[in-house]
Amino acid sequence: MTRSTQTDAWRLIRACADVTAGRLTGRCLRAVYPAPIPPGALAPDAARQLHDSIYRTGDTPAGPDSIWYVVSSDATPVAWLTRNATVITPPADRTSYQLDHQTKAVAALSQLTRRALQELAVLRDVREGRVHDQSPYPVPSPLDPFDTRVLAAHPADPTLTFWTPIGADLDTSRTHLAKLTGVPAGVEPLIVDTFGYGDYGRHREVFDLPVLCTIERLAAQQHLPADVIGDWLDLAGASRGNPTPEQIEAAFADAFAGIHDTRRGFAGTERDRRGWTAALDAAGIPASLFHLDAFTNHLFGADAHEVRLHDGRIAVFRRP
């Protein structure tokens, strides 16, 4: 296995990926025959639990408390993650160096990536025989491009997840998710995954319900699929930033240039909007001498983005 820096290792640990960074290692028990993990200075009961999880036989089903991921420092586990996403610090004699790694391991395993949480949620569904009535998969028919879903959970129990639609109204959506996941008043439900929000939904790591409701609202106002708004948000950098709903609405009002049949069609409209058609006409210059194809290439290389709709037309957004 390629050796990583410790900075990269903590990022990979959040993703429950196997990693080696010198004296720091992370191992996932995903494989049927995982690599051995030394118990080091673990207390006997903790060492026995680790052994049972590593060498679990096929006729012994994994339970919610079975170990899923182990972080070790100097060949002694300092923290591990169970299949229900609980972080455990097993008892052991540890050095100050190992205790520092333990603190960082707890922080990393308490902030799992969305993909790691999704995997644990799927494993729980299989373990408990749960079936999602609102699951969006397989992909809905092209005749229903407006379909969106979120995968929500209680933050304290992130592997118990529910697929459900939300709407444009934040308060209504928040109340619905709270009832579904059981979160108390004042606690925001955890959104583990999304469906139907375009590249924003595919590339974003952490989701905010107010932003998703803003996408729903803009989509409804413009009679657009939510994935078109999501694609534009990703192009605008929102997948990596943290714009507020108000900033998104203001940016959309500035950027959205309408629906057009083709790039060339938008370029013709833009040529007219800028007054060039009128100027040519006033100068007695035939409009055919205007190089529309070159202008189209310039527009979409420097001034505008396109997002393709399900019917082949394009939504055009001006670049900032």
pLDDT of amino acid 1: 60
pLDDT of amino acid 142: 44
pLDDT of amino acid 94: 94
pLDDT means per 10 residues in the chain (320 residues)? 85 96 94 83 96 82 92 97 97 96 98 96 92 64 64 95 93 93 92 95 95 96 95 94 96 96 94 90 88 93 93 93
* Residue keyed to tokens 């109204």: 169
DSSP letter for each residue of 103-142: HHHHHHHTS--HHHHHHHHHHHHHHHT---TT--PSPPPT
Q: 98-126: per-residue pLDDT in tens? A: 999 999 999 999 999 999 999 999 999 99
Q: 257-286: per-residue pLDDT in tens? A: 999 999 999 999 999 999 988 998 899 998
pTM of the full structure: 0.86
The letter for the amino acid at 240 is: R
Q: 291-301: per-residue pLDDT in tens? A: 999 999 999 99
Q: Is there a contact between 152 and 114 (Cβ–Cβ < 8 Å)?
A: no
Per DSSP, 34 falls in state P
Q: Is there a contact between 43 and 91 (Cβ–Cβ < 8 Å)?
A: yes
CB half-sphere exposure, 151, CA atoms < 13 A: 23
Average pLDDT, whole number, for the chain?
91
Instruction: Give which of 79, 94, 93, 71 is closest to 24, Cα–Cα.
Output: 71
Residues 6 or more apart from 222 whose CB is under 8 A from it? 256
Rounded CA-CA distance 274/251 in Å is: 21
pLDDT of amino acid 143: 39
Both tokens assigned to 245:
């709903």
pLDDT of amino acid 221: 95
